Chains A and B, each alone.
Chain A
Amino acid sequence: QAVVTQEPSLTVSPGGTVTLTCGSSTGAVTSGHYPYWIQQKPGQAPRTLIYDTSNKHSWTPARFSGSLLGGKAALTLSGAQPEDEAEYYCLLSYSGPYVFGAGTKVTVL
């Protein structure tokens, strides 16, 4: 089974910008992996912010954006807010089965 890699933790200042990345043990992440970005706050159910690389749901704040960057999927948070402090999971599709990354803990400090 493929392994999806993410930074364990990142810190961003309020109002600042941070980019989370998501790599695959099988090679470059492409649009064919249909990358997802899922936010989870302590004690809450997950909430999907980004699907299919860069598409947003109606509840996704505009400050979040998804892209492909240097062979990885990326989630950029521009203008971080205190409420963005959370765990962020990348999810990739491998022609059917899905694999989550271990998550990135984002601290807004």
Chain B
Amino acid sequence: EVQLVESGGGLVKPGGSLRLSCAASGLTFSDAWMNWVRQAPGKGLEWVGRIKSKNDGVTTDYTAPVKGRFTISRDDSKNTLYLQMTSLKTEDTAVYYCATAGGFSGSPWNFQYWGQGTLLTVSS
């Protein structure tokens, strides 16, 4: 059974930094591409970004509002995905989910499994 468990959320002041983690089990993590998705309180889902596997170059894509501020990385030895967030703004306040991604756009792995999310609050 695939399980994704996010952690690292909390309260951060505007301009601050934080790193979220997503621990994965039940899948061959080193082969997996992974997504981050967020949801502001009472709002809809927003795709944050994606990282490919080492075999596919560990390349990353991001949504425009976070480019240059957020960095997705992975440690395959720990089966863990990361989201490093800097220059945080109040509008980054959200529940952050990790979700699986596939190696091609129509892959069933895309958004097939989701974690339960971790809450980031950016406030002074």
Q: Which residue of the partner chain B has the closest CB to A36?
A: B111
A97 to B37, CA, bound (A): 12
Q: Are B108 and A57 in contact (CB under 8 A)?
A: yes
Contact flags B103-116 to A (C-beta < 8 A → 1, else 0):
00111101110111
A101 to B37, CA, bound (A): 13
A48 to B44, CA, bound (A): 15
> Closest CB of chain A to B81's CB: distance in Å?
16
Q: How many A residues face the partner with a CB closer than 8 A?
A: 25
Q: Which residues on A sit within 8 Å (CB–CB) of B61?
A: 96-97
- From 75 to 124 in chain B, residues with beta carbon under 8 angstroms from any chain A beta carbon are 97, 99, 105-108, 110-112, 114-117
A102 to B97, CA, bound (A): 17
Q: Which residues on A sit within 8 Å (CB–CB) of B50?
A: 98
Q: Which of B64, B106, B114 contacts A46 (CB 8 A)?
A: B114
Q: Are A103 and B45 in contact (CB under 8 A)?
A: yes
Q: Are B114 and A47 in contact (CB under 8 A)?
A: yes
Q: Which residues on A sit within 8 Å (CB–CB) of B35?
A: 98
- From 32 to 70 in chain B, residues with beta carbon under 8 angstroms from any chain A beta carbon are 35, 37, 44-47, 50, 61, 63-64
Looking at B35, B97, B114, B115, which has the most chain A CB atoms within 10 Å of its CB?
B114
Which B residues contact A (CB, under 8 angstroms)? Answer: 35, 37, 44-47, 50, 61, 63-64, 97, 99, 105-108, 110-112, 114-117
Query: Can you show 5 pairs from A to B with CB atoms below 8 A apart?
Result: A34-B110, A52-B105, A96-B61, A98-B50, A100-B46
